[in-house]
Amino acid sequence: MAAVDVESIQRALHAGDLPHAATLLREAVRRHPSSAELHAQLGIVLAQLGTADVAVNALRTALRLKPDLADAAFELGNLLATGGRLPEAIAAYRRAVTAQPRFAAAHNNLGTALEAEGRWEEALDAYKAAVAVDAHPQVCANVARCLAAMPRVRCDDDTRALVARAMDEAWMRPADLARLGVGMLRAHPAIAPAITRAVEAWPELLPAPQLLAATTLDAWCREPLVVALLENAPAADRDFERFLTAARNALLECTRKPQLAALLERAVAFACALARQCFLGDYVFCTTPEEDAEVQRLESALADALRRGETPPASALAVLACYRPLGSLPDAARLLEGAWPPQLRAVLAQQVEEARAEERLRETLPTLTPIRDEISQRVRAQYEESPYPRWTRLPASPALALDAYLRSLFPQASLPPLGSIAERDILVAGCGTGQEAVDRARQFPASRILAIDLSRASLAFAARKSREAGCTNIEYAQADLLELPAAGRTFDMISCCGVLHHLADPLAGWRALASVLRPGGFMQVGLYSEIARRGIAAVREMIAQRRYEATPAGIRRAREAIAANPDWRAVWSLRDFYGLNECRDLLFHVQEHCFTLPRVRASVEAAGLRFVGLAVAPALSHAFARRFPGAPHDDLDRWHAFETEHPQAFAGMYLFWVQKPACA
């Protein structure tokens, strides 16, 4: 090795002069053909130069000379995986982790290759091995995605604990793991029987001793997934909701029967978790008239105790918080001064402290434009009363350049470059409670983000969550996007998801946004699919015919009718069905338009924009490619044919990107 010019090789690599480094390494390999390390380094450089076949040969040579060379096996696996040679890639990654068991990246990439092969259990084991070494956000996201996508998930203690951790630490949006969590609890041998009893008795509510026997309650309190699920996302499942509704009533029963006091004290932690669940869903669970009377009694008793300067029982406060926010109690701020169990302190933070912070923020938000349009005023009124969604945590977002982000979404598209400017102006039009604004702030930390909405209630929630997330590059303002051109601001990127279809004239809103998009800029748009929402349209018609009102009581009555009808399963299976404000948006919205892909294309053209592509999940993209081999990503005619054959392909909404011509 003395004859190898190591310093020259290192200088070339440090300077990024890969061709020169490759030349030097080839000469070194010629002189020292038995050096596995030199062959491996040459293979890695050749891979970076894009000469995959030659790189593979060099890496295979290195591994023949030294089978336990982990880095060479890892790079070989990466090349083979990129080339679609998954079985060979899997073998290479396995060699890497055998040689170096704590090689987190190799475990992670092994998981990705196994997942692509549909080998779910093996993939999950590989991801878990990676997390055990290095809980990098991307590895954690892979674990969560794998768990959510698996056709069947083991319901053992370790896997439940993993799902609980994924929800608590937001490895992906907790709401995206809620269904999985519910399914695992419904398969839990000590928990499932209580759910079954409650569902079989429905609509009767079982008495507390029968539903919350001490042994059953202990099982619920010991299971980490119970708390993680209830505290982080609405549990979007009809039968699970029926159990929670019955459990809430059983807890209320315990507050008025002295013989059940001991059972109630054992249930404080569970009651606090249930209270947080009820708050997240804006108290969507139905009640009986008897319950309403008991809740009024409990609330009056607690209010009287506060007025007398007494300290109310933690258990009673937890039960009341399952029915209405504790912030509604007179002198609720005094509760923040008490010495409470940690679970109740978390409830008070959610229902009193955070609500007060939002009230203060609401008064400080600027108004960027007037709101004069009649439909805009009606939509604003809806979201002032019903801001949504309430969310708890978001997964980490890796920082990206805007160009790189768009090219990762559409690698086959011909995208004119935006240039090298790091600081971009981004508009989130209709930001709601701020999930997307926070995501964008993290993705593009050097950018300036303006997030607008009609509702000050939504904006106040968004501003509080942005402060909590440490995002300093977001400006929130109340505005109507129809009036935005008069504000005199322009943007490199605009995101407008789930907004245009709530305008009186969606195209007018689209044109207004296009006018403030800079030439060459990009816009993300989300619109309802007419085909996917046929079932929702039928239920909306039923609601209108039966004259259910868009009030909490009216929405609860409508939900009960819908959930009792198996023909409407497609609607009561939707996540948004399981929150009061979400359900109002889903089924009671004051204004709604639906689109087809041909109409999307016509609207894009009418707005003077160029269609870039649909942003779809990999599984849907692969299904489309199998149905229409070789079809370009932006072929809306074939996508329309595909959707006609698969009506639920865009059950959420169409999500797509357009670009403003550079010469505009």
The segments of the chain whose pLDDT lies below 70 read 1-5, 412, 416-422, 664
Q: Count the neighbouring beta carbons within 10 Å of the beta carbon of residue 185.
A: 24
d(CA 545, CA 535): 15
Straight-line distance from the first to the last Cα atom of the chain, in angstroms, rounded to the nearest whole number:
61
Helix (H, G, I), strand (E, B) or coil at 505: coil
C-beta of residue 102 within 8 angstroms of C-beta of residue 72? no
Output the CA angle 102-108-112, nearest 5 degrees. 155
d(CA 323, CA 252): 9
Q: What is the pLDDT of residue 467?
A: 95
Closest alpha carbon to 230 in 349, 346, 394: 346
From the centroid of its chain, how far is CA 447? 22
Domains in the chain, please, with CATH? Answer: 6-167 (1.25.40.10), 180-360 (no CATH), 374-529+594-664 (3.40.50.150), 534-587 (no CATH)
Please provide the DSSP assignment of 222-269 as one string. Answer: H-HHHHHHHHHS----HHHHHHHHHHHHHHHHHHH-GGGHHHHHHTHH
522 contact partners, CB below 8 Å, separation of at least 6: 402, 406, 418, 492, 493, 494, 612, 657, 658, 659, 660
Please provide the DSSP assignment of 405-430 as one string. Answer: HHHHH-TTS------S-S--EEEEES
Give me Rg for the CA atoms of the chain: 28
Arithmetic mean of pLDDT over the chain: 92
Q: What is the pLDDT of residue 26?
A: 83
d(CA 531, CA 237): 24
* Predicted confidence (pLDDT) per residue in 215-241, tens digit: 888 889 899 999 999 999 999 999 999
C-beta of residue 322 within 8 angstroms of C-beta of residue 343? no
For 500-505, the CB contacts below 8 A with 24+ separation are: 500/525, 500/527, 500/593, 501/527, 501/528, 501/592, 501/593, 501/594, 501/595, 502/375, 502/379, 502/589, 502/591, 502/592, 502/593, 503/373, 503/375, 503/376, 503/591, 503/593, 504/373, 504/374, 504/375, 504/591
d(CA 586, CA 651): 12
Q: Count the neighbouring beta carbons within 10 Å of the beta carbon of residue 343.
A: 19
- Supply the angle between the helices 120-133 and 86-99 in degrees, to the nearest 10: 30
